[in-house]
Amino acid sequence: MLKEFYKPNSIAEAIGLKMRLGADTYYLAGGTELNSLDFKKPVKYLISIEKLGLNKINKTDEYLSIGAGLTIQELIDKPEIPKQLKTAASHIVNRNIRNIGTLVGNIGANKSCSNLIPILLALDAELTTATPTGEQKLRIEDFVKDKKDELIVSVNIKQKKILKSFAVKKYSRTANDISIITSAVVLEKVDNKVKDISIAVGGVDKCVIRLRELENKLKDKELRQKEEIEGIIKNMVNPIADIRGSAEFKKYMCAVLVVDCIFEAFKN
Amino acid sequence: MKIQVLINGIKKQFYTEASEKVRDLLQRYGIVSVRNGCDGQGSCGNCAIILNGKVVNSCLLLAPQIDGKEIITIDYFSKNRELSAVQSAFVDAGIVQCGYCTPAMELAVEELLQRDSNPTSEQIKDALSGIFCRCTGYEQVFNAVEIAAQRKKDKNFTKKIAPEFKEELSVVGKVKRKVDAPKLARGERAFVEDFVDANTCYLKMLLSPYAHAYIKNIDTSEAEKLEGVVYILTHKNCPDIYYNQAGQGYPEPSPYDRKLISNKVRHYGDRVAAVVAETAEIAEAAIKLIKVEYEILPHVMTIDEAAAPNAPIIHKSKVEYVVGAPDNLEEYNKNADERDGKIIYQFPIHADPHKNIAAGVEGGIGNIEDGFKEADVIIEREYESKQVQCTPLEPHVVYTKMDGDRLVIHASTQVPWHLRRIVAYILGTSENNIRVIKERVGGGFGAKQDIVLEEVAAYLTWITGRPIFYRYTREEEFIAARTRHVMKIKVKLGAKKDGKLTAVYMDLKANTGPYGSHCLTVPMNACSKSLPLFLCDNVKFKVTTYYSNIAPTGAYQGYGAPKGSFALQMAAAELAEKLGMDLLEFLEKNRVRDGVMLEILRCLGEGREGTPQQVSSCGLEQALKKGAELIRWGIKEESEDPDIKIGKGVVIIQQGSGLPGLDSANADIKMLGDGTFMLLSGGADLGTGLDTVSVKMAAEVLCVDIEDVSIISADTDVTPFDVGAYASSGTYFSGAAAMNAAIAMKEKILAAAAEMLKEPKENLRLEKRGMVVGKNGKVSYKEIAAYTQSGTGCGQLIASGNFTTDKASFPYGAHFCQVAVNTRTGKVEIQKYYALQDCGTPINPELAIGQIYGGVLKTIGHSLYEEMVYNEKGRCINANLLDYKVPMINDLPEDFRVELIFTDDPFGPFGAKSVSEISCNGAAPVIAIAIHDAVGLWIRDWPFTPEKILKGLNKIKQ
């Protein structure tokens, strides 16, 4: 049961509160994940990030740094946000949710069906997190894999990654349904060969994952036939059967989405 | 903690808990327009507010999150009783049906128009993407937004939003404002939950965690000790009264197979104990203190499991008959298990509960064997479907209280009089001691044709004297309200080479779940609303309904017909393919037509002998012709994407207009002091526009405008009897009763005017607006009112009307669709969906169109997305709107059109027939037929998920 709600004015204050309050304390952004029925964890204390000023966008030659507190709708509306992130954000179809749900909330909830994490993984995004010892940088892949709960301050994407070709896809039964399978690919093509490729998928494991083995098989080569790549993917992922679909179906759909992403990105 | 908020322009301070949701806070403040449809999941958007300029769900926000911010609700736009541009546009576009989601939709449009004064369709879809509406099918909202956008610039802007019918009439067949729409558009108090008094107790139910079990022991002592607990009802202190919850005409064909609470639970979520407490929180805490010992029984979920030789028996009950007991009853009852209680049948329905058979019936015309012998081609196929839920946005809800020694029930019901009768029976009192007031219904769809929770609250108020509020959660709505019967239908058809049908056989097995609500009539209706579509001399059907432990079933818009229609239309398409014949040509050759006698209806009465009926009007010829032109029937469409295959389908559909010989409706009308009228109708408007139909009927007869007639409907103390809103009876029965009351009033007006004008009645006629004109003079209704109501007059003019009939009028329709099947992903996109329907004279054309859009989109949902999924323990594991997967605005067909095909029915009031339920009968078969046309795959089990399509295409393993 929620006992107290805090609205700290600084990051230091927020971190201090988190340390002091201990277990069952969470940072709260928009609340679309934490405040929903879907959240089954016991929540004792909430620390709002509202006043921490986490909604700035900074551009350097090397990085685009996106304030983690931006809402999903702001990702779509702000001209500084790259198209790949806009496309992923638009896959969250429900505008009422996009209007208040945030980038940090989506990453922090760390769901396998996240619509934003796959493209961020494929872009090799880095997170700036706030810790008692100061700001830290870590790869989003590590954050996701290790189920970290530090306060995410910003999401940083290398400008050269943004320039690469990309594709983002999702499969859901209805438009508003939670994505059953998601896929994102970032690709660099040189001389009709795959020079570099990053592939991330959601819905086939406990969290969004990179398909590094596949990436390695595709790098520095001409693009293989669709069926061949699909076959490799099907041997690579092991989704579980649940109400959203059988394992066989998810495996198939994952292969299709990834391959379609690869070919779309390759074509672009 | 204290927060400060600017609500609708007013600075307010609130003392709140950190955990209080903003929706609850606003409701506490008195803003009722923020509705709860999903219990805070955030999936329905009915609680939407504008927070600092953005539309968000207030159920997902905690009170501290709005500290220092600005909130706008629909109430902001409802100043001085004037409708805002958006509100009036919603009303005029006919998009306000039940009205539960209307404030949320309007807010989304307000915000959209702030961002863009001339939005595109895609922007409109995006703006409304988070708001779930089950009634309207969304399509008319595009008109509403256009009107609203223009009205913001020019408040007098109007647009033709629907065709009009019958030039000679002034209000019937014309686009007029739905009479309850302004109130709903303003987000005013209208629903049961809006009228709950401050000292009201809350009722919560301890639900069974098992699908099938005996309650061996139940101990409520600890719960009773909890401060604030008022009363706990269990099987131990529950009256020994058996009844059925189906709101059907008495004596019902549904078996009396349940008590308020039984010592045997028959589905996950069945009643174990009802707790009344001072607050909902105390009731919930008390539930946790109740100790129950169960003897768990094996459960059965499917028709095959229920019919298996050694299946667990759901009702091994002692059987009684009010009339028609079989000779071997004593012998039969020797096998009963005392713990299973009783079943009382009002008359035989061919049940055999000890074999899990809840009901059965068979019949036919001609000679089926001869029919198949005559045939050149025979096919036999089986069709199945999953369980779907009605999902009204307002879940089942009731508020009961005592008024002196009388019980008052504020209900969200389709059947106020059946509710009163059933509650009186359970209470052991007479009907004059009970008043049922039907409030606005936030979506019914058949689910509110049953007495699902009302009788428990009524009983507990009756014995405790305390006012009680009882509202289902969304999960309870799934597991303990009403769903559509699951069916497995075998169809065998025979035809000559030229396509003429020689034999039609339908063997239908249905799953009624734990109790026999509508167990005979829903499955039977699957036959009676599908078989008469084809003219064939040899027809036979067999219906068997089984008990099981799935969530309860009952009435759901279409009442079995969508399943019968799916099976028969699919079989017809499969037969046409085998014959090598164009489907449209096959339908044209075999379809029902004007004037034919439907002999098959003799064996399809509702538990009694039926009556053959002559088809009084049939718009199928025009519907098929126009639909074929619109969809370019016969022309193969190709996609540029090689993975995408395009296909087309067509089906014919029908329904009834109430139940001739069974239904009855009544209305009274009074002339008021200034010559206007108060209409008292028994009809229960559940958002469909029935009140508007009744007002129009009266206004048309009496030559006044609809503004001159006010209506009170469905209050058992105030208005006369009506069986209720089901079986598509609203317009045909309740509307006709209003018309007949007005005709009786007209006679009285003429008699009074004859006295006043000193002319014979025959010389007089009514003229608009509210005049009686004779050869020598004229007199206004106002003058007539003054004359009749004066100290020397004959008294206030009051007239009554009744409608009963033995004549049936069938609405017909043809649905066409075009799908694009992605053979790589299995995904089906509906590119075109055209519903061409004959509802006789559409009384409210724009509302009739809305009914059709709503019915179609709902059943597109059933066909492509929705299904209740159970785990191995018999628990529904997707009992919420998100996981159950309802269609929303972004799931609309790309091109979605409704065409009203006019026929002038000789029996319906002003030529009207029913419109809503029939709309649910086309989607499943027409989509499946189009899928086949696209990829050559017959999918005989809905929903048609990508997984099934990929399996059919051998892309993934079977």
pLDDT tens-place string over residues B219-229: 999 999 999 99
- What pLDDT, on a 0 to 100 scale, did the predictor assign at position B603? 86
Q: For chain A, report the end-to-end CA distance as a whole number of angstroms.
A: 50
B892: nearest CA partner in chain A: A175
Instruction: Using the predicted structure, report yes or no on whether residue B178 has a pLDDT greater than 60.
Output: yes
Half-sphere exposure of B736 (CA within 13 A, CB side): 25
Name the B residues in 128-187 with CB < 8 Å from any A CB.
128-131
pLDDT at residue B470, as a whole number: 98
- Amino acid A39: pLDDT: 53
CA–CA min distance A99, chain B (Å)? 6
- Percentage of residues in chain B having pLDDT higher than 90: 98
pLDDT of B608 strictly over 80: no
Q: How far is CA B766 from CA B170, B795, B822, in A?
A: 13, 21, 62
Q: How confident is the model at residue B243 (pLDDT cuts 50, 70, 90)?
A: very high
Q: Report CB contact under 8 Å: B883, A95.
A: no
Q: What residues in B contact A243, CB-CB < 8 Å?
A: 869, 877-878, 883
Confidence (pLDDT) at A40: 57
A165 in contact with B at a CB cutoff of 8 Å?
A: no
- Tell me which residue in B129, B891, B946 faces A94 most closely, judged by beta carbons: B129
Q: Which amino acid is at B828?
A: V
Distance between CA atoms of A145 and A148, rounded to whole angstroms?
8
Q: Which of B64, B827, B882 faces A7 most closely, judged by CB atoms?
A: B64
- Residue in chain B nearest A93 by alpha carbon: B129
* B65 contacts on A by Cβ (under 8 Å): 28, 31, 48, 50
First to last CA, chain B: 58
Picking from A93, A96, A178, A180 by the largest number of B CB atoms within 10 A of its own CB, the best residue to mutate is A96
- Please tell me if residue B891 touches chain A, with a CB cutoff of 8 Å: yes
B60–A36 C-beta distance less than 8 A:
yes
Residues 823-852 of B with CB under 8 A from A: 824-825, 827
Give how far Cα B686 sits from Cα of A117, B206, B224, B338, B418, Å.
44, 29, 38, 41, 15
**Does residue A175 sit at the B interface (CB-CB below 8 Å)?**
yes
Which segment of A24-28, A146-150, B313-317, B840-844 scores lowest on mean pLDDT? A146-150
pLDDT tens-digit profile of A220-239? Answer: 999 999 999 999 999 999 99
Instruction: Look at residue B929 and tell me whether its pLDDT is greater than 60.
Output: yes
Is pLDDT of A37 > 70? no
Q: CB contact, 8 Å: B875 with chain A? A: no
Complex-level ipTM: 0.97
Q: How far apart are CA B49 and CA A193, in angstroms?
A: 51
Does B958 contact A at CB distance below 8 Å?
Answer: no
Facing B129 at nearest CB: one of A4, A93, A173: A93
Residues of A in contact with B825 (CB under 8 A): 171, 253, 256
**Interchain CB distance below 8 Å, B60 and A100:** yes
Q: How far is B58 from chain A (nearest CA, A)?
A: 10
Q: Please tell me if residue A243 touches chain B, with a CB cutoff of 8 Å.
A: yes
Contact B129 A95 (CB under 8 A): yes
The model's confidence at residue B604, banded by pLDDT at 50, 70 and 90, is confident
* A21 and B CB contact within 8 Å: no
B329 touching A, CB under 8 A? no
Instruction: Tell me: pLDDT of B163 over 90.
Output: yes
* CB-CB contact of B515 with B553 (8 Å): no
Task: Show Cβ contacts of residue B309 under 8 Å, excluding neighbours closer than 6 positions.
Answer: none
Give dist(CA B775, CA B778) in Å, integer. 8
Cβ(B56)–Cβ(A96) below 8 Å:
yes
- Write the pLDDT tens digit of every residue in B561-602: 999 999 999 999 999 999 999 999 999 999 999 999 999 998
Nearest CA in chain A to B881: A177
Please indicate whether, in this complex, the C-beta atoms of A37 and B40 are within 8 angstroms of each other: yes
Torsion on CA atoms B786, B792, B796, B802, rounded to nearest 10? -130
Q: Does A42 lie at the interface with B, CB-CB under 8 angstroms?
A: no
CB contact under 8 A, B60 and A35: yes
Q: Tens digits of per-residue pLDDT, B715-727?
A: 999 999 999 999 9
Which of B41, B64, B130 faces A96 most closely, judged by CB atoms? B130
pLDDT at residue B456 tops 80: yes
B61 and A46 in contact by Cβ < 8 A? no
- Which of the residue ranges A197-201, B421-425, B604-608, B697-701 would you say has the lowest mean pLDDT? B604-608
CATH 3.50.50.60 assigned to domain A165-267? The reply is no
Average pLDDT for B700-715: 98
Q: What distance in Å separates residue B398's CA from the closest CA in chain A? A: 24
Chain A residue with the nearest C-alpha to that of B870? A243
What is the per-residue pLDDT across B10-26, written as a single tens digit (0 to 9) for each? Answer: 999 999 999 999 999 99
CA closest to B887 among chain A residues: A174
Chain B residues within 8 A of A99 when measuring between CB atoms = 54-56
The CATH architecture of the domain made up of A4-161 is: 2-Layer Sandwich (3.30)
pTM over 0.90: yes
Sign of the Cα pseudo-torsion (A73, A79, A82, A84, in order): positive
Nearest C-alpha of chain A: how many angstroms from B55?
6
Whether chain B has a CB inside 8 Å of the CB on A4: the answer is yes
Helices of type H across B385-495: 416-427, 454-464, 474-480
Is A253 touching B (CB cutoff 8 A)?
Answer: yes
Quote the CA–CA distance of B168 and B537 in Å, as a whole number: 41
Cβ contact B45–A31 (<8 Å) = no
- Where are the domains positioned within chain A? 4-161, 165-267
pLDDT band for position B917 (cuts 50, 70, 90):
very high
Residue of A nearest to B112 (CA): A95
Taking an 8 Å cut-off on Cβ atoms, the answer to whether A37 and B39 are in contact is: yes
Tell me which chain B residue has its CA closest to the CA of residue A90: B126
Average pLDDT over residues A11-33: 94
A175/B67 touch (CB, cutoff 8 Å), yes or no: no
Residue A38 confidence (pLDDT) above 60: no
Partner-chain contact A252 B890, CB within 8 Å: no
Least confident of A147-151, B69-73, B337-341, B734-738: A147-151
Residue A159 binned pLDDT confidence (cut-offs 50, 70, 90): very high
SS3 content of chain A, % helix, strand, coil (to 5): 35, 30, 35
Residues from chain B that touch A260, judged by Cβ atoms under 8 A, are 824
Closest in B65, B861, B865 to A48, CB measured: B65
CB of A40 less than 8 A from some CB of B = no
Q: How far apart are CA B103 and CA B80, in angstroms?
A: 17
Cβ B51–A38 below 8 Å, yes or no?
A: no
> What is the 3-class SS of B14-49, one letter each residue?
EECCCCCEHHHHHHHHCCCCCCCCCCCCCCCCCCEE
Cα-trace Rg, chain A: 19
pLDDT band at A1 (very low <50, low <70, confident <90, very high): confident
Note the pLDDT of residue B78. 85
CB contacts, 8 Å: B19 with chain A: 1-2
List of domains in chain B: 2-77 (3.10.20.30), 196-297+396-471 (3.90.1170.50), 486-659+808-952 (3.30.365.10), 665-803 (3.30.365.10)
Alpha-carbon gap: A142 to the closest alpha carbon of chain B (Å): 29
Number of residues assigned to chain A: 268
Asked if the Cβ–Cβ distance from A178 to B131 is below 8 Å, we say no
**Ramachandran angles phi, psi of B561, nearest 5°:** -60, -40
- pLDDT at position B761 is 96
- In chain B, % of residues over pLDDT 70: 100
Q: Which residues of B touch A50 (CB under 8 A)?
A: 65
Q: Residues B119-134: what's their mean pLDDT?
A: 98
pLDDT digits (tens, 9 = 90+) for B887-910: 999 999 999 999 999 999 999 999
Euclidean distance between CA atoms A135 and B46, whole angstroms: 41
pLDDT at A268: 84
Distance from CA of A12 to the nearest CA of B (A): 20
| pLDDT average, residue stretch A260-268 | 95
Choose the mutation target among A92, A176, A177, A267 for the interface with B, i.e. most B CBs under 10 Å.
A176
Q: Is B51 on the interface with A (CB under 8 A)?
A: yes
